[in-house]
Amino acid sequence: MYSARAGIAAAAVLCCAALPAIPKPGYYHPSSVQCGTKTRVIMGGDAVSGVQGAWITGEGARVTRIVVVPRQPRSTGKGQHQFVLNWMYDILEENPVVKQTPHRPLPPEALKENTDWQECNWWHFMEDRDNLELQTIARFLFTPNRYPQPTPALDNLVIFDVEVDADAPPGRRDIIIYDGRSASAPHPFFITREPHVAEPFFVIPPRNFPRNPLSVSLHLPPNIPPQTLPIHIDGQIWPGEVDAYTLRLEEGQQLVCSLVGRELFPYLGDAVPGFFNPVLSLCDKNDHEVAFADDFYYLPDPVLTYKVPAAGLYTLKVYDNLYRGGPNFVYTVFCRDAETDRPLYTPKERAFNCYPQPAAFIPPKPKSAPGLVVRTGSIDMPGRKDRHFVEIKEPGTWHFELYARREGSPLDGVLDLYGPMGSLPLSVAPRLATWDDTPGRLYEVKNVGSASLPIIKTNMLYEGTIPQAECDPSGTWTIKEPGKYCVTVSDRAGLGGEHYDYTLCMSPAEPSFEVFSLVSACRVDNGRARFKACVLRKDGFDGDISFDSTPDYDVNGCFIGDALETSVTIKFKTRWQGLKRFDLTASGELPDGKEIRVRVTPTDPGEQAFAYSHLLPAQGFYFGVAGTSTREPTRHPEPQLMGKKQSKSHSNGQNCSSCHLKTAQHNKGKSCNECHKDKK
């Protein structure tokens, strides 16, 4: 049993090793910047050590410089650890010895001989590092080896210099990084006009600060003065940490604090330590809680509202509801005066929204298709059930679909079909069908192992693209008898309110399809870009599907027969540098000759806790051509700066019989004199 498991693991590792590593950003801190400023943003991710540049979608924002933070050695002895700390404090305190020394002073030979001395590029030229870069060094030196729980997908750090024009349009942007061969998936990033305050990446303790207890050394509070509205706050939550910010509020203000945290990191591949479930708490000057917010309707990111009764200083606290934390537990909070007495806002009225609408998620307009019936309504009170009657004149298959969650409504809809009604009241009319959730509609089974040792993984390619979007019901029913039919709309939990709006669409079923790209950002090399796409066939469509070319580009790729996935190559007819957005379309033909053309939905896969892969809809389809690298060149120390390091004998003081194991032949056939070299 053990050998079989080991073989499976080895096959999986070899399979993954054969694939090229694509840079994967995990988080950005801060996650928002102000117009007209220059901000240093730190990013943690995986396979980002070779990053050469970055693009920001939209106008008026750019990345001007990239600094890759090198890995720092963990196996340092106490002597070296203290030596590096002292040199860092000399730099922070502007010790005169720093100005007289062009590089880090060499340690005493006795220190290097008695410790396990390790070399690090940044430790040699620490005086060239700015305050943020010194914070990355200090956090490493003050953080124990395995705290918090290691997350390799977030451990590599990169620092971006982001410059935003004063007239840059505010709103959501995306940052796309690229290396020598590929580009990353876009990651949400926000630009606003309001002032910003950001929690430091790490608060460096003063010299001789006690390193224990651990919670104190990691969670030193930053010295941030009281803030007035409006204000954007950016922070990062570590295990057990509660971030606190002081707000100066005026009497009569309608305070609204809208937090975005979970949406910045919606799917977690390794599920360690879990999802960020943020909580907001507002306390008065006596530290009494006056307002609290956890989930906002069906969204895990809270929105706190409070009518200020008296002017004064209030404390806004941010933490995880289970006091978990990690480097990816980043957030941005927009605090403003709403100037209204409305107690709550709908999800689509939040300050930010990370989930764009795919084309198939937008309700069709009335009269846009033959026989289409569109009705709008609202479950404005708990327990209400709306009735919608439709006259069906000919037998056939009809499609019924509700749009609610996809439009930002908290309604968890349920559809019931009754009929034919005739003169019967609804209470005694036959109920033909009930539709509740519409779960994942497209699956793909892949062998991630080998032919001799298969490892089957099921990818759910179309589910959860928007939080709980599958709560919107849909279904088809074959109508055999013409007449009047009734469709009722209700909430599954019997809830209701002023924001429980919906759109109901009823129409004769017609074969159609949706096409999704499996990436939303591609690097263009030699005028070509390549990616994969998948198709969702609906209502019996079984024809071939091809991508449409335009005067700007030619597309090579199509779905033949019942194929669900295909490779696509785009050849562009013009050359450019930077990032461009293009809209792709695909078309197919029905047996009667009617052509169907749909817009390709750009998506990015997101793995969910070792299990399924979801498709996250993107803001647009972007193609980038790399320009001059903005990465800061690495400065390497000269040999004389490295100093001498005591070498240890191969046997570590042991005799030959203890070093050369009989079963493994450690010396590989060499004699002891060849293996254990004379160190005198």
Q: How confident is the model at residue 273 (pLDDT cuts 50, 70, 90)?
A: low
DSSP structural state of residue 97: H
Q: Per-residue pLDDT tens for 524-552?
A: 999 999 999 988 888 888 899 999 999 99
Neighbours of 312 (CB within 10 A): 13
Q: Which range has the worst mean pLDDT, 68-72, 97-101, 144-148, 673-677?
A: 673-677
User: DSSP per residue over 374-431, as a string?
Assistant: EEEEE--STT--EEEEEEE-S-EEEEEEEESGGGT----EEEEEE---TT--TTTSPE
What is the C-alpha separation between 16 and 22, in angstroms, rounded? 12
Per-residue pLDDT tens for 52-71?
A: 999 999 999 999 999 999 98
Q: What is the spatial distance between Cα 365 and Cα 503, in angstroms, rounded to a whole number? A: 10
DSSP codes of every residue in 275-318: ---EEEEEE-TT--EEEEE--BTTBSS-EEEEE--S-EEEEEEE
Mean pLDDT value of segment 490-496: 95
Q: What is the pLDDT of residue 224?
A: 92
Structure tokens, 477: 């029913």
> How much of the chain exceeds pLDDT 90, in percent?
46
Q: Lowest-pLDDT range, 318-322, 451-455, 633-637? A: 451-455
Note the pLDDT of residue 101.
62
The residue that leads in pLDDT, 391 or 142, is 391
Look at residue 8 in the predicted model and tell me its pLDDT.
34
Question: Strand, coil or helix: what is 121?
Answer: helix
Q: Name, of 11-20, 60-69, 404-413, 650-659, the range with top average pLDDT.
A: 60-69
CATH architecture observed for domain 21-349: Sandwich (2.60)
Q: Which of 242-251, 271-280, 355-364, 387-396 has the weakest average pLDDT?
A: 355-364
Neighbours of 556 (CB within 10 A): 14
Per-residue pLDDT at 108: 59
**What are the domain boundaries of the chain?**
21-349, 650-680
Instruction: Tell whether the model's pLDDT for residue 355 goes beyond 80.
Output: no
600 close to 533: Cβ distance less than 8 angstroms: yes
